[in-house]
Amino acid sequence: MSQEINSPFRYAGGKFYARKLILEHLPEHSYYVEPFAGGASIFFAKFKVERNWLNDIEKDLINCLITIRDYPNQLIKSLEGEEATKERHAYYKNEFKPKTDLERALRWFYLNRTSYSGIMNMQNCYWGYGPKYSMRPENWPRNILRSSKKLQGVKLTTNDFEEVINNVPDNSFLFVDPPYYNADQEKFYVHSFNKEDHYRLCNVLNANTNRIKFLLTYDDNPTIRELYDWAHNLHEKEWNYTINRTDDQKNGSNKKGSRYKGRELFIVNFDSLKQIELFGDELNINKTRKKFF
């Protein structure tokens, strides 16, 4: 399956609403890598190429993806008869003790689909399901099966990002979506990402920039601009997204939600087709001036 589908997961900080902007900047490639896969919204949204590698340090997330890839029918069977209720959410969060990889995947999938914004840090993993805006349990099997088809042949690992980037084949394309530099990430993620990690990421991308292509997304701030002043181009991007009742827990509201603006830097080390279309000959000038778009 190569066509666009949605990620099987909800994920805090995911790029669901920025998919169109990101896809416009992707270069031609035959090997695709995400060192920080998370919900892998871009992988599921893009055309699947010959070779693909999704990595994330969160072991339960990758275990769930492996289960979806290799044992979709077993996961569907284990979810049979489940309902999206606050009581079941509390059960899987506080009482259910998985003993197998399949049970770990069951717990992770259920909590992810029913938690506020898909936050999986158990300290902030709260009930956040709304039947009008969340995927209903009766649709979970179809979601799992189509995701499984697209995941066939995909390499799934839980390595440190530096190991991944250093070991990708030459001419690979990497979509790199680390935690935000200024984010209060301990509320959202199981594994923290400190300032040293941000510097490590910059250094390993710089060291490999002549043999790979990458699109890196970051929150826009002076430190990140300074760190990546060696990069080919930095683009300021913004997009609309909506906080629905399932995400903001507004009880009793019939409104779909409020619209917000997402703003980030897209940092690249190549000329995408979109860049050439928009800026043409200016690209050659900007290479020397280090101009920020």
With cut-offs at 50, 70 and 90, classify the pLDDT of residue 32: very high
Would you say 52 and 24 are in contact if contact means Cβ atoms under 8 Å apart? no
Place of tokens 């979509």: 175
**Residue count of the chain:** 293
pLDDT of residue 235: 79
Flag whether 4 is in a domain. Answer: no
DSSP 222-273: HHHHHHTTTSSEEEEEEEEEEE-HHHH--TT--S--EEEEEEEEEEESS--H
Segment 72-90 mean pLDDT: 97
**Residue 189: what pLDDT?**
56
Is residue 257 over pLDDT 60?
Answer: no
| Placement of tokens 């690249």 in the chain | 268
Bigger pLDDT: 194 or 244?
194
- Mind giving me the DSSP string for 113-131? HHBGGG---GGG--B---T
The CATH number linked to 92 is: 3.40.50.150
In a domain, 217, yes or no: yes
Query: Which of 2-6, 36-40, 188-192 is the most confident on average?
Result: 36-40
Which of the two residues, 263 and 277, has the higher pLDDT score? 263
Structural domain boundaries enclosing 83: 16-289
Residue 6 counted as domain residue: no
Specify if 186 maps to a domain: yes
Domain count, the chain: 1
Is residue 279 assigned to a domain? Answer: yes
Residues 105-127: what's their mean pLDDT? 89
Residue 3 maps to a domain? no
Average pLDDT over all residues of the chain? 83
Asked if residue 1 is part of any domain, the answer here is: no
Residue 165 lies in a domain: yes
